[in-house]
Amino acid sequence: MRNISDTIARLAALRGLQNTHPSSFTSADRLSTLGNFGTNPGALQARYYLPADLPDGAPLVVVLHGCTQNADSYDHHSGWSQLADEGGFALLYPEQQRANNPNLCFNWFLPADTARERGEVSSIRQMIETMVIAHGLDRKQIFVTGLSAGGAMAAAMLATYPELFAGGGIIAGLAFGCATTIPEAFDRMRGHGSPSEQELQRLVRKASKHNGPWPRISIWQGSADHTVASGNAGSIAAQWRGVHKLDTAPTHSTSERGRSRQVWADEAGEAKIEINMIAGMGHGTPIGNGLGTAGPYMLDVGISSTREIARFWGLGDAEYSSVSARSRSATPRGETTPSTFHLRAASGEPAKARPAEPARIELQGSQAGAVKKVIEGALRAAGLMR
């Protein structure tokens, strides 16, 4: 439980955003609820999605909704679960609660929620560990993406737990650590007073003890965004160029069909950072090309950022994220520990023809207790639960 003074501070902090986003419409719920995922210091909830017949060692994508949205609405409009059916990967949706933030924004600007092993980032870390253990997912293929406040929180996850992620996708978000107070948060959203490139890079380096390899970053922004100024995209790229040891100038740039793309690649030709700027687009997630459904702050511009981000990570077209025309190899991650317990949902139709109902875990009595003990034991071993 948050204490009273903390709750009052949060209410005051977000009062100015009370009418920023209208509530999103959601259709049939495809997601299941994840419980028993640790101490949950950030008091978040968690939802997840598993395609039918998901193989052992599948990737995991963590998706963070924007303000006033929830997991179900963001999944419905973005098309992530549709793409998961096609590509064979699991989804985790951390979900904000009104007791933490009256507008359901992740608290991306509060140090208590964005420091390693604290608050909301720690809760999300516990969720990820639980999903990996329970469903036998690949620790080397974990990714995180989000919109707006969710995009800024995705940046916080990438900075505080870089060893955990192979890649990130930040949509209309902000650089990690660029704001630590309410006035700073609003200034940065308007594009005022961003820290220097050197300071942004220092913030990433001090957020963890990690020395690499570092996650690749896909950045998306609308040029006509009046909620989060488009210059924030450049600040995010600048923040990550340091640890990737990349030049200030992009390796190459392209522009077509209202989308300009700047790419920074390493000496081997692997794209490590990209900025995708959508001409004339306001604040929201770009969708289109047959994936997702338009809605508030889910903008049909004929480009699916969902599909394009997955391709950049290598979950789709293996050559997409390389500047040269060759296949990318899997990015090596840190040392991993094999999962001690694999829990599978009942198999159904093949993934591309699966029914709309989500795969669900049905455990009863002593079996459920045994599963809970295994997960809690693994969380304690990882230092995520006492």
Q: Would you state the pLDDT for residue 370?
A: 53
Amino acid, res. 41: P
* CA–centroid distance for 238 within its chain: 19
> Which ranges constitute the DSSP H helices of 115-196?
119-135, 149-160, 182-189
Q: Would you state the pLDDT for residue 321?
A: 41
What's the CA gap between 289 and 280, in Å, rounded? 18
Phi, psi of 185 (to 5 degrees): -60, -45
Beta strands in 200-321 (DSSP E): 216-222, 252-256, 259-265, 271-278, 285-287, 298-300
Provide the whole-model pTM. 0.80
Q: Would you state the pLDDT for residue 78?
A: 98
Residue 344 burial class via C-beta count within 10 angstroms: exposed 0-12, middle 13-18, buried 19 and up: middle
In 3D, which of 281, 303, 279 has the Cα closest to residue 291? 303
Q: Would you state the pLDDT for residue 29?
A: 80
- Torsion angle of C-alpha atoms 60, 214, 201, 128, degrees rounded to 10: 30
In 3D, which of 89, 386, 334, 90 has the Cα closest to residue 209? 334
Contact 100, 67 (CB under 8 A): no
For the chain, what percentages of helix, strand and coil (3-state, to nearest 5) are there?
A: 35, 20, 50
Contact 279, 185 (CB under 8 A): no
Task: Describe the strand order of the beta sheet including 142-147 as a list of residue ranges.
Answer: 32-33, 45-49, 90-95, 60-64, 142-147, 167-171, 216-222, 271-278, 259-265, 252-256
The H or E element containing residue 63 is strand 60-64
Ordered by start, the domain boundaries in the chain are: 4-348
Residues designated catalytic: 148
Dump pLDDT digits (tens) for 311-368.
Answer: 999 996 534 444 332 333 333 333 332 222 222 222 222 232 333 333 333 344 544 4
Q: Would you state the pLDDT for residue 316?
A: 64
Q: Is 143 helix (H, G, I), strand (E, B) or coil?
A: strand
What's the CA gap between 233 and 66, in Å, rounded? 17
Question: Chunked in runs of 10, what are the mean pLDDT values of the chain (386 residues)?
Answer: 41 35 51 95 98 96 98 98 97 98 97 98 98 97 98 98 98 98 94 97 98 97 98 98 98 96 97 98 97 97 98 72 35 31 26 32 47 61 62
Indicate the DSSP class of residue 33.
Answer: E
Contact 47, 90 (CB under 8 A): no
Residue 336 half-sphere exposure toward CB, CA atoms < 13 A: 19
Dump pLDDT digits (tens) for 51-66.
Answer: 999 999 999 999 999 9
Burial 66-86 (b: 16+ CB within 10 A, else e): bbbbbbbbbbbbbbbbbbbbb
Phi, psi of 299 (to 5 degrees): -105, 120
Q: Would you state the pLDDT for residue 182?
A: 84
Architecture of domain 4-348: 3-Layer(aba) Sandwich (3.40)
